[in-house]
A and B are shown apart, each in its own frame.
Chain A
Amino acid sequence: MLESLKPAVIALQNEFGAEVVEFRDEVSLIIQPEKNIEALQALRDRFGFNFLIDVTAVDYWPQETPRFHVLYHVLALDTNALLRLRVPLNGNGPSLRTCEGVWPSANWYEREIFDMFGIRFDGHSDMRRIIMPFEWEGHPLRKDYPLGYEEVEFTFNFEEINQRKLHPKI
């Protein structure tokens, strides 16, 4: 890993019990959900990581438990050092504390995670859906959400599908 990353990684390992995963030149740290805000704040204040690139989530059902991983990507603009934090979460509607206090730009990212995965963020100022319509039920990017495609109409099943299709009221 880059030399500029080493102090941050060692400090997070000692203080927050993070596991380090390295792949080529990328460094990921796995942090438990109770410590996510403190870790992000330490990165921002003490180690000069001043740019939150992305907050996103991944669903690993059914291969792994815990099922969701919330990912934070932070960048230090001065040294060009990129670090990834993974927070594993489990369950149907897990919740995590919001990091809006540390980086206000995480507002829309966390709304998107709530919309697509159903992970609630405690303390968020505006927890509503951002991509799907507001009354939508279900969280589309979970692995157990149906694809939602329409059946293809051929000549042999055209009439029966056409009766079930939506037609407008004129």
Chain B
Amino acid sequence: MGIEQKVGNMGVVTTTLEEVVNWSRTNSMWPMLFGLACCAIEMMSAQASTYDMSRFGMELMRASPRQSDLMIVAGRVSRKMAPVLRQLYDQMPDPKWVVAMGDCASCGGVFNNYAILQGVDEIVPVDVYVAGCPPRPEALIHGIITLHEKVKQEKLGKWK
């Protein structure tokens, strides 16, 4: 307020460290390619031209976990795939977030049996659950924006 009136002409803006770091984290969050089943098609179409996710900063999808910060679990996770998913989650560097996309990743979906994990939150901590079978691309983008708002409220003391 006060100081910006004095030095604003020189192109200086004052803010808090929390805000700047959270803003930069949300605006360039790169998801990891983790499309397992049918929800992957909706994730691909959310990334493509009609429902563009690059508008929100998710310009690339990195296949390598070492270079991504968001894991969108799109699709059903079988018991054979579960240790693989946990290993990839462990390989992602902090800070990292997980979006459980679709019903199968949130709660097991239509598959209530011995072979499918009943919700991916049995093995990784999930930040945002997106419902739908599959969720429309707009629903996924709504979930991503909810995650952005969650990240913008993170506090200094709780940063990993």
Contact = CB atoms under 8 A, between A and B. Distances in A.
Contact of A150 (B115, B118, B121): B118
Interface residues of A, number: 16
A166 interface: yes
Interface in A128-168: 131-133, 136, 140, 145-150, 165-168
Given A165-B122, A168-B123, A150 B79 contact: no
Given A132-B79, A133-B80, A147 B121 contact: no
A21 interface: no
B114 A148 contact: yes
B70 to A, nearest CB: 16
B93 interface: no
B124 A168 contact: yes
Nearest to B160: A170
A145 B114 CA distance: 10
B113 A168 contact: no
15 contacts: A132-B80, A133-B79, A136-B79, A140-B115, A147-B113, A148-B113, A148-B115, A150-B118, A165-B122, A166-B122, A166-B123, A167-B122, A168-B123, A168-B125, A170-B125
Interface of B: 79-80, 108, 112-115, 118, 121-125
